[in-house]
Amino acid sequence: MIRFLFHRLVFQALPTLFVLAALSFLLVRLAPGSPFASERELPPQTLEALNRAYGLDQPMPVQFFRYIGGVLRGDFGPSLRMPGRTVSELILAKLPVSLELGFWSLLYAIFVGLTLGILAAVKPNGFGDYSAMTLALLGICIPAMVMGPVLALVFGLWLDWLPVMGWHTPADRILPVITLGSTYASYIARLARGGMLEELTRDYIRTARSKGLTEAGILVKNALRGGVQPVVSFLGPAAAGLLTGAFVVEQIFFIPGLGETIVNAALNRDQFVILGCVLLFGAFMVFFNTLVDVGLALLNPKIRMTAGRKAKHEG
Amino acid sequence: MKGRGPESFSLRRDAWNRLIRNRMAVAGLLLLLLMAGACVIGPWISPYTYYEQDLFNTNAPPDRAHWLGTDELGRDLLTRILVGGRISFAVALAATLVSLVIGVTYGGISGYVGGKTDAVMMRIVDVLYALPFTLFVILLITLFERNILLLFVAIGAVEWLTMARIVRGQVMGLRRQEFIEACQVLGYSQARTLFKHVLPNVLGTILVYVTLTIPGVMLLEAFLSFLGLGVQPPMSSWGSLIKEGVALMEDAPGQMLAPSIALSLTLFALNFLGDGLRDALDPRRSEGAK
């Protein structure tokens, strides 16, 4: 397992992050137009002084490695639009809120998705299956930007049951989490249903049935382990989607998260802020994908063995 | 072309028959055609434009003159939704086309050539897969002047990865078949074999995946426009219309609901059509997979 993890980190996680950093840094620095360009033409001396102050007059490789060196020490550079503020402090101020929203939404999606998926797989083409899959279809075809306002309108403004603004009390979390998590709950429900149905056709399940084990016991103790594997693989992309999807939900429910920072940076062309966010999200994704791989290896001894052999072979 | 025998024709007809027997798929197809048709033709026959303001008649409820009412600036909402639909469909088609061209070519070459080339090409895809690509699109928007053309090139340029993987898998399976070996024996060039003989056989799979890509691209465009990073006012798109509607939700919920319904209906239609196509083109997998 340790060898597997080591292999995964050295040969996949680090190169991915490096490529991401190099690619986005090059894009930012080679893009036409100075980061300081605005409606008002700046005199060339001012531009030169600005470039020197931010180290942008150095050769590209020097700039790049200086930037990477800074990132490794937790310094994502200065904001080019808000003098005196660093990208790190801009991000850190808002990140916890977005992470919390993403975390609850992921939990909600897993819980609801698995429940619906397993329910559907118990009796394929039965009433439970149709209801669960209809719900899943609704969740997929009604994106967060539609579901959020509709939920806010019905449960907030018309029925006045739940708050629709802010991020203070636990009740504030309910509608945003449902809005953000429902699409992913739907995908998880579909994947869980497919995975469970496939697992239930296997020989060992037939053996378990012939031994007279109860159907519920088989479902939870035997089939679930194999059946959730597609769901676990999906958690990597899901986590990434939740993080960016949160921007829309934050706007709808007036939640002070990272989305506003990123949108404003994009509108103001504050390049280092966006660059920092790209790297941060990339690191999250790599972290999550590694976690998912570990989870899959724990669930499935086959993966564990081939991964170990591959690691031995390559390393 | 002589090579296309009666066999492949009947296979295609077979798939078509399966598709039109699927009631949900047909409903999806009709709904999609209706939507697209209305968006293309509607703005021409509408007496209003998407930018014309009427400040004496703002936030009007639906009536004879304005079927869906007017917005905050007195612009006809129906016309704005139809024009926004044009944007959504155009972006979806263009970005899907870009991703199609890149993905099919890349995946085709990777799967057909195989060996070390394949390993390197797929490793690159693996690395790109792990990038936070929505943010990457936002980064691209930040760097260049915002315009719609750039938007869909950027989306298309990041959406080709899955297509490349799928095509590669299919091509690898076909590479060892007799009719491909026959092409090689006949001395056809690699490119001719790949594009004329291998890829046409992957068409079904590609078509299914295209119907899955289109809603994804549509949602991404709506996402960006909702955040104010997509189309710029006074131009409308479903994402920006929903955003404008949300601000007025309390007094005029219709302005939020109408574009929302348009977006969701289109997604429903594409979903049903996609499911139907998958079942029709790949009958083996239709059991259980839903």
* Per-residue pLDDT tens digits for B261-271: 999 999 999 98
Q: Minimal CA–CA distance to A150: which of A253, A245, A242?
A: A253
Residue bearing the bigger pLDDT, B152 or A189:
A189
How many Cα atoms occupy the beta-carbon half-sphere of A76 within 13 Å?
22
Q: Do B227 and A251 touch, CB atoms closer than 8 A?
A: yes
> CB A263 to CB B226 under 8 A?
no
B131 has a chain A CB within 8 A of its CB? yes
B284 has a chain A CB within 8 A of its CB? no
Residue A81 lies in a domain: no
Please report, for residues A135, B2, B32, B195, the alpha-carbon distance to residue B184 in angstroms, rounded to integers and kept in the order given.
51, 19, 42, 13
> CB A28 to CB B256 under 8 A?
no
Residue A235 lies in a domain: yes
Q: What's residue B290's pLDDT?
A: 36
- Inform me whether the pLDDT recorded for A37 exceeds 70: no
Range of the domain at A245: 94-268
Q: Which residues of A215-238 are buried (b: 16+ CB within 10 A; e: fewer)?
A: eeebbeebbbebbbbbbbbbbbbb
Residue A315 lies in a domain: no
> From the list B136, B227, B246, which residue is nearest A247 (CB)?
B227
> From the list A240, A248, A281, which residue is nearest B227 (CB)?
A248
Residue B287 binned pLDDT confidence (cut-offs 50, 70, 90)? very low
Q: Do A162 and A156 touch, CB atoms closer than 8 A?
A: yes
Task: Retrieve residue B255's tokens.
Answer: 């302005």
Q: What's residue A123's pLDDT?
A: 81
- Inform me whether the pLDDT recorded for A204 exceeds 90: no
Q: Do A55 and A69 touch, CB atoms closer than 8 A?
A: no
Mutate which of B31, B131, B133 to disrupt the A interface (most A C-beta within 10 Å)?
Answer: B131
Residues of A with CB below 8 A from B239's CB? 145
Cα gap A225→A219, rounded to integer Å: 9
| Mean pLDDT of all residues belonging to chain A | 82
Residue A33 binned pLDDT confidence (cut-offs 50, 70, 90)? low
Q: What's residue A76's pLDDT?
A: 80
Cis geometry, peptide bond prior to residue B234 (ω within 30 degrees of 0): yes
Task: Retrieve residue A29's tokens.
Answer: 């620095």
The crossing angle, in degrees rounded to 10, of helices A144-151 and B254-281 is: 140
How many Cα atoms occupy the beta-carbon half-sphere of A289 within 13 Å?
22
pTM, 2 dp: 0.84
Cα gap A194→A200, rounded to integer Å: 10
CATH assignment of the domain containing A138: 1.10.3720.10
Residue A5 lies in a domain: no
A165 has a chain B CB within 8 A of its CB? no
| Residues in chain B, total | 290
Residue A150 lies in a domain: yes
- Inform me whether the pLDDT recorded for B131 exceeds 60: yes
Please report, for residues A207, B19, B121, B235, B261, the alpha-carbon distance to residue B231 in angstroms, rounded to integers and kept in the order given.
59, 36, 34, 6, 20
Please report, for residues A3, A20, A301, B245, the alpha-carbon distance to residue A9 in angstroms, rounded to integers and kept in the order given.
10, 15, 20, 46
The nearest alpha carbon in chain B to A280 belongs to B132
Give the number of beta-carbon pairs within 8 Å between A and B: 125
Cα gap A228→A196, rounded to integer Å: 7
> From the list A137, A149, A263, which residue is nearest B249 (CB)?
A149
Cα gap A202→A183, rounded to integer Å: 30
A183 has a chain B CB within 8 A of its CB? no
- pLDDT mean over B167-192: 81
Residue A166 lies in a domain: yes
Q: What's residue B288's pLDDT?
A: 39
Q: What's residue A180's pLDDT?
A: 92
Kind and range of the H or E element at A312? Answer: helix A301-314
pLDDT tens column, A124-176: 888 888 888 889 889 888 999 899 889 988 888 888 888 878 787 887 888 89
Q: Minimal CA–CA distance to A267: which of A237, A247, A253, A283?
A: A247
Domains belonging to chain B, first-starting first, are 6-58+67-289 (1.10.3720.10)
Cα gap A25→A275, rounded to integer Å: 7
Cα gap B259→B265, rounded to integer Å: 10
Please report, for residues A105, A256, B201, the alpha-carbon distance to residue A157 in angstroms, rounded to integers and kept in the order given.
23, 21, 54
- Inform me whether the pLDDT recorded for A315 exceeds 50: no
- pLDDT mean over A29-56: 69
Residue A86 binned pLDDT confidence (cut-offs 50, 70, 90)? confident
Phi-psi region of A296 (alpha: psi -120 to 50; beta: other; left: phi over 0): alpha
> From the list B250, B268, B290, which residue is nearest A133 (CB)?
B290
Q: Which residues of A294-306 are buried (b: 16+ CB within 10 A; e: fewer)?
A: bbbbebeeeebee
Residue A168 lies in a domain: yes
A:227-266 residues touching chain B, CB 8 A cutoff? 240, 243-245, 247-248, 251-252, 259, 262-263, 265-266
Closest-CA distance of chain A to residue B233, Å? 14
Residue A37 lies in a domain: no
> CB A142 to CB B264 under 8 A?
yes
Task: Retrieve residue A213's tokens.
Answer: 């084990």
Cα gap A273→B57, rounded to integer Å: 42
Q: How many domains, chain A?
A: 1
